[in-house]
Amino acid sequence: MPQYNDYPEITSLTDNDIFLTLDAETNATSRIKASAIKNYAGVVGNSGNNLQIAPAMTAQYRFNQGTGQQLTDFSDNNLNGAIANTALWSNWSSSGLNFLPNQHIALPARNWFSGNFYIESVVLLRNYTNWARIVDCSTAPASSDGAVYLATSFQSTGRAVLGILEGSQITYIQTNFPLPLNSVFHLAAQFNNGVGTIFFNGLPVASGNLPTPRNVSRPIAYIGRSSFPDDFFDGWMFRLNIYDRALTNQERINNFIFIKQDLESHGVFLL
């Protein structure tokens, strides 16, 4: 599969420009006209920026405190995380948390996922670690009934995974290419009415049928750690947003551009 850098960079847009998107699993294509993308000012070559992050999120983690052992939730839900071991905040920008071996963040107990959802993150991977998680929320430790997770590696292959474990069904989708190492990128996943999709730097790269998460408490919730005895995440995290609803295509695109532009203002540049 072609990699992200194989494609030419877009440096300007007109209203009549057409974007083609490709679903890596089905090879289905769709067209998006630039004039239909509201507020595409974040793309190089356009002026003005009225972009807003999509509303009604469950949690918003910016990884920009720079000090302390708490990860602040900037949503309205006060779902702050507790950082295990000494936090290694970025000393080269005002964003980012360095995850070393056994470094992870414990999140408060709540249902987290109860139907459609959207997860988006900005990360840098140092290594492919076995089933390493960006986020994992489960009903119990090592439970095959009630876990929802976004992982950076299927086993140790580096292929991203979205998994929903319900009723002892171990179901997941994965990309057919490894994520890049030592580069910053945007990785997102969505569940929408029975279909899961993984996005890499805004593009859909994997999709498939998944079971619907039940509306139950998931007290075993982590960033950078699995609810199973898997390896820990090895790299940096810069952003993590969680929604308990699916986003529209326009909201996804706006979020991607908004986050990209915000991180660039802090010296962090996506691949």
Can you say whether the dihedral through the CA atoms of 97, 85, 107, 178 is positive or negative? positive
Which helix (DSSP H) or strand (DSSP E) does residue 185 occupy? strand 184-192
Domain ranges of the chain: 59-264
Higher pLDDT: 171 or 43? It is: 171
Angstrom distance (rounded) from CA 139 to CA 165? 10
* pTM above threshold 0.75: yes
Q: pLDDT band for 1, please (50, 70, 90 cuts).
A: very low
Whole-number Å distance between alpha carbons of 255 and 228: 31
pLDDT in tens, 238-255: 999 999 999 999 999 999
Q: Strand pairing partners for 240?
A: 61, 121
Classify strands 105-106 and 81-83 as parallel, antiparallel or unpaired.
antiparallel
Lowest mean pLDDT among 22-26, 30-34, 200-204: 22-26
The two structure tokens encoding residue 100: 């070393």
pLDDT band at 102 (very low <50, low <70, confident <90, very high): confident
pLDDT score of 41: 32
| CATH code for the structural domain at 59-264 | 2.60.120.200
